[in-house]
Amino acid sequence: MSVQIINPATEQLVREYGFMSPGELDAAVTQSTEAYPHWRRLDLKARLECVRTFENALQAALEVASNQITTEMGKVRKEAQAEVNKCIASCKILRENFGAWKAQKEYVLSSGHSVHYEPLGPLLGIMPWNFPLWQVIRFAIPALLCGNTVLLKHAPNTWGVAEFLEGLFKQAFPEGTYVNLRVGVPETSALIGDSRVRGVSLTGSRQAGQSVGELAGRHLKKCVLELGGSDAYIILDDADLDLAADVCARGRMVNAGQSCVAAKRFIVTKKNSAAFTERFQKQLEKFQYGDPLSATTGIGPLARRDLRDQLAAQVDHSVKQGARLLFGGQVPKEKGFYYPASLLVGVKPGQVAFDEELFGPVAAVIEADDEKQAIALANRSRYGLGGAVFSKDTARAKEIAVHEIEAGMVFINDFVKSDALVPFGGIKDSGIGRELGREGAFEFTNAKLVK
């Protein structure tokens, strides 16, 4: 059995990979398990030096990494380069801050009690294709700095990126601390139950999170689940509409809309509905699809044919349910898994475009009578990952963000983006636990009390 990697822009075969045999998989887990005792006892300074070496190796391979990402999942070249640069910068941030974060977490009381954050052991990471470098780095580097070892199961359509990453980790870290796994769903499920694996981190769909969470719970394993989102951006009566239209368009079109934390539902009060929609459409129309290697391309193809077809079906269904398509919404005839930037208006609860996550370059505008209804519509979702509030009264916008919006992250007059310095994650069906920042860095540790 094998996996074929197809270039989503050309539909040509890039490479074919075979799955690990049962023996190879067992050997990989054994290697990670045997590497753990030495790695966990290694001085933090030495582990930080491994990160520095990795960071330098990735910097040297920036163009190779960018090309690999674009070829395998279709991200436009400038965004692929930005992803690699973000990984490099985040390694530096972690090197400079991890020691201080650990010191702040660990403490001694006058009673003589002390708290120490100890690693758990080999961890299983199940990572997605949409940010094939960044998703791995933000999980693996903090986990390794804590003293854990990492087993990484990547999305099959980016196994070339996974192989490239393993090569870099082998250059920088001791053998067995990071191991790439070419396995399918049945083997991954079995790994969660393997007693040698002490925790699991998944970034993926809500359905995948339910399956992984159920298995982790059954085997009493620590898990972090970063799942889907249907992020609501609220445009209030006093919003700067030019700013809002520009920011919302960029927030929706990042990675051709293939981001869990991309802007997806745009809830605008009745006063500004027509004016915002007109401006928003003009901004969205700037994102023309095309060759992801071209510097002038706005959005590349979707990563796979089935993902493009699913998005097209969601748009068609929404229109049948009463939404109105202002532009886009037609599958292109040329080669490649392209879908144009599209705008739906008249979207309401009960329609697919409101209730489900649209993982692609489709924006849904929802009209609200007033601020109160806008907030209620924003929260009327099974998801709770990110969101934004647009208003010239930033104090009031922040009050809404803090006290009213049900989400893990809310930005004011800007679109949501991740940063190594601050926690990332959601609530409700968007997942459990946190990545990044001090809060996320120690998710896979044992807060050990000693007296």
Q: Of the residues 50, 260, 357, 443, which is catalytic?
A: 260
CA distance 138 to 439: 13
Whether 49 is catalytic is no
Contact 29, 191 (CB under 8 A): yes
Whether 91 is catalytic is no
Q: Of the residues 226, 356, 357, 435, which is catalytic?
A: 226
Nearest Cα to Cα of residue 166 among 157, 153, 156: 153
Cite the active site residues: 226, 260
